[in-house]
Amino acid sequence: MSPKNQWLDNMNVLGIETSCDEVGVAIYGEPGGLKAHKLYTQIPIHAQYGGVVPELASRDHIQHVLPLIQRTLDDASFSQSDIHGIAYTAGPGLLGSLLVGACVARSLAYAWQMPAVGVHHLEGHLLAPMLETDKPSFPFLALLVSGGHSSLIKVAEFGSYEIIGESIDDAVGEAFDKTARLLGLPYPGGAALAALAEYGNEDCFELPRPMIHHPTLDMSFSGLKTAVVILLQKHPNPSEQERADIAASFQKAAIETLLAKCEKALVATGLKQLVVAGGVSANVYLRQRLQQLDVRCFFPRKEFCTDNGAMIAYAGYERLKRGFQQDLSIDIKARWDLADSTQAQPNLRD
3-class DSSP state for residue 37?
strand
Model confidence, pTM: 0.93
Non-local CB neighbours of 341 within 8 Å, separated by 6+ positions? 120, 123, 159, 161
**Fold designation for 138-299:** Nucleotidyltransferase; domain 5 (3.30.420)
Cis upstream peptide for 92 (omega within 30°): yes
Considering the segment(s) 3-127+305-340 as one domain, its CATH architecture is 2-Layer Sandwich (3.30)
Centre a 10 Å sphere on the Cβ of residue 101 and count the other Cβ atoms it contains: 28
Sheet holding 12-17, edge to edge: 33-41, 22-29, 12-17, 85-91, 116-120
Give the Cα separation of 192 and 181 in Å (integer). 10
Tens-binned pLDDT, residue by residue, of the chain (350 aa): 333 444 566 899 999 999 999 999 999 999 899 999 999 999 899 989 888 999 999 999 999 999 999 999 999 999 999 999 999 999 999 999 999 999 999 999 999 999 999 999 999 999 999 999 999 999 999 999 987 889 999 999 999 999 999 999 999 999 999 999 999 999 889 999 999 999 999 999 999 999 999 999 999 999 999 999 999 999 999 999 999 999 999 999 999 999 999 999 999 999 999 999 999 999 999 999 999 998 999 999 999 999 999 999 999 999 999 998 888 888 899 999 888 776 544 444 43
Structural domain spans, the chain: 3-127+305-340, 138-299
